[in-house]
């Protein structure tokens, strides 16, 4: 109910109109009381003090109801009713009537319904007890005041519900934005891993070969050509890594070369065989990126765990699906230091990438080596 009583959602014009009406009512009551002949001297001073105390009590009642402090609110409301009876007993009939009517409406607006009804009935009862001249008019006025208080309550509740819905919508938008940011971070992390793992593992292969050659060589001058070949190859891998990083940035911007052209370049660089089945077509950017990264990761794993193996790549265009198979066989080298390099999340990252697109990734030993199969909607 806090949202119903708060000022959020209330226009500035409405707030100022409400304040102006309250100021006008209080000023009118004070003026009509002061100019009357019934209050002079100390009676006039006491009346002004009573009106001031009533205004302070009203302010306290508004604050306690806003803070959901029920019993203090009820206590202040009883004080307001007592003030109305005091004004009536002192002969200030008009201020007492206005105070009773105001209490009846305000109670219905600001108190819980189970408490608001008896409090409002108490205020209306005091009003009816004061106005005994015309019972029909008094009853009609009391009923109208009760109805007005309930309408004001409905308006406050509707405003509170609107504020709660607005807060929920804002929270949902914030959660959606945070989720989108986390998703984008995950995507960038996968791009960084896939590009760097492919390039750096290739450089490690050549650097390790150069290190072993230097360590075991008895005549470095005689092995100079082999060392130069390894360093040159490592430089080529570094250049390839730089190109891959640029390509990853282009992919993040949605600018990529066709996936088939990319696989042809990759297969040529790795001395692998590429077979394409089905009718070539353009594929969505995310699906094409998944094929690229899975192919790179598969070649990286071949370097690490089966150096010297023969690698065959098959790209398949099927109905609504694009498939990739990378198979290695006949690895001549044993896994060495490079097998332990990397984060160990290569296959996990490939599978995660495929599942995010609604596809599948299978990997495991084959008859002569290892095979990775990817299928994603395209």
HEC string for the chain: CHHHHCCCCCCHHHHHHHHHHHHHHHHHHHHHHHHCCCCCCHHHHHHHHHHHHHHHHHHHHHHHHHCCCHHHHHHHHHHHHHHHHHHHHHCCHHHHHHHHHHHHHHHHHHCCHHHHHHHHHHHHHHHHHHCCCCHHHHHHHHHHHHHHHHHHHHHHHHHHHHHHHHHHHHHHHHHHHHHHHHHHHHHHHHHHHHHHHHHHHHHHHHHHHHHHHHHHCCCCCCCHHHHHHHHHHHHHHHHHHHHHHHHHHHHHCCCCCCHHHHHHHHHHHCCCEEEEECCCCCCCHHHHHHHHHHHHHHHHHHHHHCCCCEEEEEEEEECCEEEEEEEEECCCCCCCHHHHCCCCCHHHHHHHHHHHCCCEEEEEECCCEEEEEEEEEC
Tokens of 241: 């890594």
pLDDT of residue 333: 52
Of 291, 292, 263, the C-alpha closest to 276 is 263
- What are the start and end residues of each CATH 3.30.565.10 domain in the chain? 175-377
What is this structure's pTM?
0.43
Angle, helices 113-130/135-216, rounded to nearest 10 degrees: 160
* Cβ 84 vs Cβ 99: under 8 Å: yes
Highest mean pLDDT range out of 198-212, 299-313, 339-353?
A: 299-313
Mean pLDDT of all residues in the chain?
Answer: 77
326-351 residue pLDDT tens: 998 876 555 544 444 444 446 777 78
Give CA–CA dist 103/88, Å, rounded. Answer: 15
pLDDT of residue 341: 43
Beta bridge partners of 362: 373
The length of the chain is: 378
CA distances 255 to 194, 203, 289, 315, 325, Å, are 18, 27, 11, 21, 24
Which of 192 and 355 is assigned the larger pLDDT? 355
Residue 204's φ and ψ, nearest 5 degrees, are -60, -35
C-alpha Rg value of the chain to the nearest Å: 42
Give CA–CA dist 338/19, Å, rounded. Answer: 78
Q: Is it the case that residue 66 has pLDDT exceeding 60?
A: yes
Of 107, 102, 105, 96, the C-alpha closest to 131 is 96
- Per-residue pLDDT averaged across 247-251, rounded? 64
Please say whether the structural domain 175-377 has been given the CATH code 3.20.20.60.
Answer: no
Q: Is it the case that residue 81 has pLDDT exceeding 60?
A: yes
Least confident of 8-17, 93-102, 250-259: 8-17
25-57 residue pLDDT tens: 666 666 666 665 556 667 677 777 777 888 888
Least confident of 56-65, 267-276, 303-312, 326-335: 326-335
Give CA–CA dist 223/232, Å, rounded. Answer: 14
Tokens of 264: 């042809």
Give CA–CA dist 288/296, Å, rounded. Answer: 13
pLDDT of residue 276: 92
Give CA–CA dist 348/372, Å, rounded. Answer: 12
Strand-strand pairing, 360-365 and 369-377: antiparallel
pLDDT of residue 317: 92
- What number of CA atoms fall less than 13 Å from residue 164's CA on the CB side? 11
Interacting residues of 167 by C-beta distance below 8 A, sequence separation 6+: none
Beta bridge partners of 333: none
* Cβ 75 vs Cβ 91: under 8 Å: no
- Per-residue pLDDT averaged across 187-195, rounded? 67
255-272 residue pLDDT tens: 567 888 889 988 888 888
């Amino acid at each position: 109910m806090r949202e119903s009583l708060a000022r959020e959602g209330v226009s500035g014009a409405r707030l100022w109109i409400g304040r102006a009406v309250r100021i006008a009512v209080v000023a009118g009551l004070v003026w009509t009381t002061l100019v009357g002949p019934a209050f002079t001297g100390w009676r006039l001073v006491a009346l002004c003090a009573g009106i001031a105390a009533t205004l302070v009590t009203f302010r306290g009642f508004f604050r306690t109801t806003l803070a959901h402090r029920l019993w203090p609110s009820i206590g202040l409301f009883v004080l307001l009713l007592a003030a109305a009876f005091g004004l009536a007993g002192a002969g200030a009939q008009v201020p007492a009537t206005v105070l009773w009517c105001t209490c009846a409406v305000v109670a219905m607006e600001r108190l819980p319904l189970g408490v608001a009804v008896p409090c409002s009935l108490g205020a209306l009862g005091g009003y009816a007890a004061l106005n005994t001249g015309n019972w029909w008019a008094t009853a009609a006025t009391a009923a109208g005041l009760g109805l007005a208080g309930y309408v004001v309550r409905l308006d406050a509740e509707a405003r509170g519900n609107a504020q709660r819905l607005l807060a929920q919508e804002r929270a949902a938008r914030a959660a959606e934005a945070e989720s989108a940011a986390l998703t984008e971070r995950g995507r960038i992390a996968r791009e960084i891993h896939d590009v760097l793992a492919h390039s750096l593992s290739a450089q490690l292969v050549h650097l390790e070969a150069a290190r072993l050659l230097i360590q075991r060589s008895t005549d470095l001058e005689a092995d100079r050509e082999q060392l130069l070949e390894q360093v040159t190859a490592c430089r080529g891998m570094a250049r390839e890594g730089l190109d891959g990083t640029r390509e990853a940035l282009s992919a993040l911007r949605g600018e990529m070369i066709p996936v088939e052209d990319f696989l042809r370049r990759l297969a040529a660089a790795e001395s692998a065989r590429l077979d394409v089945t089905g009718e070539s077509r353009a594929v969505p950017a995310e699906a094409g990126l998944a094929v690229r990264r899975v192919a790179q990761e598969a070649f990286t794993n071949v370097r690490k765990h089966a150096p010297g193996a023969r690698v065959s790549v098959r790209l398949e265009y099927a109905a609504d699906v694009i498939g990739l198979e990378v198979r290695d066989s006949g690895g001549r080298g044993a896994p060495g230091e490079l097998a332990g390099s990397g984060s160990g999340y290569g296959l996990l990252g490939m599978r995660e990438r495929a599942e995010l697109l609604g596809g599948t990734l299978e990997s495991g030993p084959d008859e002569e080596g290892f095979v990775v199969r990817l299928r994603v909607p395209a």
